[in-house]
Amino acid sequence: MFHVIIPARYASTRLPGKPLQDILGKPMIQHVWEQACRSTAESVTIATDDQRIVDACRGFGADVVMTRPDHPSGTDRLQEVVTQLGLDDQAHVVNVQGDEPLIPPTLIDQVAADLRAWPEASIATLAERLEDVDTLFNPNAVKVVTDQQGFALYFSRAPMPWCRDDFAAGRPAALPEGVPFRRHIGLYAYKVGFLHDYVRWPASPLESSESLEQLRALWFGCRIHVADACEVPPAGVDTPEDLQRVRQLLAGG
């Protein structure tokens, strides 16, 4: 059994009021909630710091909690929510971003099952095979390298693994064959006890330099298991162009 928590902040530089943007007559956050409710989660809770989102969520029947507005990271917000919900340290939660109205329920179930399957892990997450040079060298695409069992060795915005000979002359025209290039998919399952530990730890130098929260967990010795996603997740909504694309997809265009 596991619980889903959906953080939804009103503020967004590129798309203000993002969770309440209309998609076929429903606010975007409702689409995310409906997808999460199609998973096998025991409960689905939306967490926000804005009363407008609270009101909208209650309007379509979702469980919603108000959180502090000053959390330094999404993981800190998640920890406040599990505390409000009174979840046991051994409980598992999946963090589904509030800007992914097309998130497949199968991926939510997969990451939760992966955390159950690897009891030595504090976190489970997903990745997909990376097959083009532009994505490998794009700092907005996070790369991950794992050991043979799938435990994360490192996450980075830089190209990795670095193929010394193939990349010696600079950016190649095509990716070298036989190298396990993987792009991280930001869907996480956590043990609740880990979240309580996480918020007591200071930010690590790696986390600060890469701006990747998961590096704090690795810095303090926690294990993160990474599974290959069972299906390719659609991109989330960051810009007005993304929003229009999702509207067209859901309209069958």
What would the pLDDT profile of 114-125 be if each residue is shown by its tens digit?
999 999 999 999
Q: How confident is the model at residue 216 (pLDDT cuts 50, 70, 90)?
A: very high
Say how far apart CA 190 and CA 121 lie, in whole Å: 9
Q: State residue 253's pLDDT score.
A: 60
Q: Please report the pLDDT score of residue 235 as a whole number.
A: 82
- Mean predicted confidence (pLDDT) in 211-227: 97
**Spatial CA neighbour of 5 closest among 71, 65, 70, 56:** 65
Question: pLDDT grade, residue 45 (50/70/90)?
Answer: very high
pLDDT for the residue 15: 86
| Whether the Cβ atoms of residue 19 and residue 9 lie closer than 8 Å to each other | yes
Q: Are 97 and 6 a contacting pair, CB within 8 Å?
A: yes
Mean pLDDT of 119-138: 96
Residue 47 pLDDT greater than 90, yes or no: yes
Give how far Cα 110 sits from Cα of 182, 226, 228, 234, Å.
Answer: 18, 11, 10, 16
Phi, psi of 191 (to 5 degrees): -85, 135
Average pLDDT score over the chain:
94
Residues 59-113 have pLDDT tens digits of 999 999 999 988 888 888 899 999 999 999 999 999 999 999 999 999 999 999 9
Tokens of 192: 């609740």
**pLDDT for the residue numbered 246:** 92
pLDDT tens-digit profile of 80-91?
A: 999 999 999 999
Each residue's pLDDT tens digit, 150-196 = 999 999 999 999 999 989 888 888 899 999 999 999 999 999 999 99
Q: What is the pLDDT of residue 233?
A: 85
Looking at residue 193, its pLDDT comes to 97
pLDDT reading at 24 higher than 90: yes
Can you give the pLDDT at residue 207?
95
Q: CA-based angle 17:85:96, to the nearest 5?
A: 45
Please determine, for residue 224, whether its predicted confidence score (pLDDT) is greater than 70: yes
**pLDDT at residue number 67:** 94
Looking only at the bridges linking them, the beta strands covering 43-48 and 3-8 are: parallel
pLDDT at 16 > cutoff 90: no
- Read off the pTM: 0.94
